[in-house]
Amino acid sequence: MYPHERSLVKRLEGKPFALIGVNSDSDREELKRVLVQKQITWRSFWDRGKDGPIAEQWKLDGWPSIWVIDARGVIRYKDVFGPEMDQAVDTLLAEINREN
C-alpha cells in the first residue's frame, strides 16, 4: 500500500491533489516512528485508535478504506485501489481542467 501511495503523491506533485490519511493506530509515539520508517510523507488525521470518532462518523467497515473526493468536496469513488485509484484521481483532475 505505502509504495503505491508514495508514487501517486510523487507523480501528482504540483497538481491540485492531496492524499489525506486517517490513522487508527493508538500509540502516537510509535506512529511517529512508523511515519519516518515507512516514508509516509502525507498528512493524516490521527483518530486515536480503531474506535476513533472519525471512523465512527464515516461508518468504517475495515482497513484500508478509500474515499476519492472531487475538487468541490463531493465523494465520487469509494475503495479504489492500485491502478484504479490513479485512474479515479486522473479522471477528477481532468474535470477541473475542463471546468476552468
Partner 1 sequence: MARVQIICPECSAPLRLSDEVIDRKKVRCPKCETVFRPSEDNLDQSDSALLRRRAERSHSSSRRSDAPDRPGPSRSKHKSQKSSASLVVATAVIGLLVLGGVAALAAVYWPEKKPNQPAVAAANNDGTPRLPAPPMPAKAGGTGTEIGQTALEIDGEDIDGKRFKLSDYRGKVVVLDFWGDW
- Sign of the dihedral defined by the CA atoms of residues 97, 3, 41, 48, in that order: positive
> Does 28 help bind partner 1 (rule: CB under 8 A)?
yes
> Does 17 help bind partner 1 (rule: CB under 8 A)?
yes
User: Whats the size of the chain, residue-wise?
Assistant: 100
Contacts of partner 1 in 54-93 (CB under 8 A): 54-55, 57-85, 87-89, 91-93
**If residue 40 lies in a helix (H) or strand (E), which one and from where to where?**
none
Q: Cα Rg for the chain, rounded, in angstroms?
A: 14
Nearer to partner 1, 10 or 75 (CB): 75
What is d(CA 31, CA 28) in angstroms, rounded to the nearest whole number? 5
3-state secondary structure of 2: helix
Nearer to partner 1, 3 or 88 (CB): 88
> Does 6 help bind partner 1 (rule: CB under 8 A)?
no
The footprint of partner 1 (CB under 8 A) covers 1, 5, 8, 15-25, 28, 31-32, 34-35, 38, 43-47, 50, 53-55, 57-85, 87-89, 91-93, 95-96
